[in-house]
Amino acid sequence: MILLYSCFDKPFEKDKFDSYLKQVPEWCRQKSLLFKRWQDRHTYLFGKLLLQRGLDLLKITDTSLLDYKIDIHGKPSFNKNLNFNISHSNNYVACVIDPKSIVGIDIEYIKTDINIFDFQQAFSKNEFQNILSAASPIEKLYTLWTIKESIIKADGRGINVIHLLDENNNDNGYLTLEDKKWFFSTFSIEDHIKVALASDVSISSVTRKKIVFD
C-alpha cells in the first residue's frame, strides 16, 4: 500500500497550471476548471496526478487515467483489480493505492476553533463520551471521524451507510459494517493533517511519500 500526498501554499501561475492540465485526459481538465476556488482546482487536478504517479511507482504500465471510471455510487475505480482512493482537505491532497486490497482514505485539516458539540450527532453516545474524556478532545474527534470516513469511502456506497458502522471493535483496529471487517490505521502526515486509511485486510505497512509539484 502506498500513500502519496502534496500541498499547495499558493496557486500556480496560469502557464504552470496549464502545463499540468496537459498531463491529464480531457475529462479531468474540464472537471478541474469547473471549481471556483483555486484550492479545489489544484487538489482535484493534482489528486489525479498523484494517482498517475502512484501507478508509475508501482510500475503498473497497463492502466492509466484513461481507464478511470465512477460507479453508480460515485466511487472511482479502474477497469482492473487495482484499488485506490483520493481525499483532500484545505490545500492538501492525498492518494492511496493498493493492488491487493480494497482501500479508502480520509484526510482532515485540524481546526482547533470548532465547537465539538456541533458534531455530536455524527457519533454514538459512547463515541462522543470518549471524545469528551480524551486528553485532546478535538484530536480524538478528528481521529474517529476520519476512521469512519475512510471506511465509508472504502465501502463505496456513500455516507448514508455510516449509521451501520459498529464501533465496538475500535480498540482492536477494525470496525464492522454489516458483518464485514474494515481495518484501519491513523496517523498525521503533518502536524495539523489527520489521516485515516481503511482496508478489507489488516494494514501491515504503508509507504508514504510527499510529492512536490513545482
Q: Which domain holds residue 25?
A: 2-210
Residue 169 — very low, low, confident or very high, per pLDDT cuts 50/70/90? low
Position 7 scores a pLDDT of 95
3-state helix, strand, coil in the chain (%, to 5): 40, 30, 35
**CATH number of the CATH domain containing 119:** 3.90.470.20
For the cut 80, the answer to whether the pLDDT of residue 178 exceeds it is yes
Dump pLDDT digits (tens) for 80-101.
778 999 999 999 999 999 988 9
* pLDDT value for 171: 67
Q: Which one has a higher pLDDT value, 171 or 46?
A: 46
Count of domains forming the chain: 1
For CA atoms 25, 31, 34, 36, the dihedral sign is: negative
pLDDT at 203 over 90: yes
pTM: 0.92
